[in-house]
Amino acid sequence: MSSLYDDLSSLGLRPADLPRHIAVIMDGNGRWARSRGLPRIEGHRRGVKSVRTIVEACSELKIEQLTLYCLSSENWKRPKKELDLLLGLLEQFVIEERSEIARQNLRFSIIGQREGLGLNVLREVAKTIECSRGNTGTMLCLAINYGSRAEIVAAVKSIARQVAANNTTPDDINEDTISSSLYTAGMPDPDLVIRTAGEMRISNYLLWQISYAELWVTEKCWPEFRTPDLLQAIKDFASRDRRFGGLKDQD
């Protein structure tokens, strides 16, 4: 049975067109549910189906990394009942997806602050990370209790401690020093950022890492997002002229 990667030419794509790392801001679960007269949690449950679909598609496309913004550090302002349900869905997901992670040869990781996630969630996350440690396929990274400003503050503090301990000097600090001190140390920067539900914001997501990422926004809410939408985002990404601040010879 052929995979999406095998069918790239029929999709109008080449391997060189594919982004190395896709980051997604999964927005609109609540709006999708409200528009259908459903409680917000039903939108989150439906959103899990989109996660499964897009993870499998990225795996088939041999995307090196997929990072999903699951829970921001600002989301703690939401009602406790909704947060409890979200954390319950997260725990259920990391347990139920272990077999799929193994089948698809996925590597699994999370970024963000562990505080507040609960011992059960952290235990199951750790088990899933360990189970996937030897895999070699797509890295599935979940951003949980994540905020980019807090990440950068933590990186600055870490570097400051290194300076105080005389392990480095201010003059030695460069972009690599900062990158290696972030939660995402060792991961490639995203090439493509997808945001659903039509919102034109970054929302404190990977601010350092997406400096040169291409942004793609769809009006579809996350529970509606499926493989054809992902492929359209990749096609649009492939059509863009990425100069990284430089100019082509003819410009």
Candidates 6, 17, 27, 105; catalytic one: 27
Q: What gap in Å lies between CA 198 and CA 207, rounded to an integer? A: 19
Q: HEC states along 90-118?
A: HHHHHHHCHHHHHHCCCEEEEECCCCCCC
H or E element, residue 68: strand 65-72
The one-letter amino acid at 195:
R
Candidates 17, 75, 189, 204; catalytic one: 75
Helix, strand or coil, per DSSP, at residue 69: strand
Query: CB-based burial of residue 79 (10 Å sphere; 0-12 exposed, 13-18 middle, 19+ buried)?
Result: exposed
Active-site residue flag, 27? yes
Quick one: CA dihedral 181, 183, 20, 25, positive or negative? Answer: negative
Q: What gap in Å lies between CA 161 and CA 237, rounded to an integer? A: 40
Q: Which residues are catalytic?
A: 27, 75
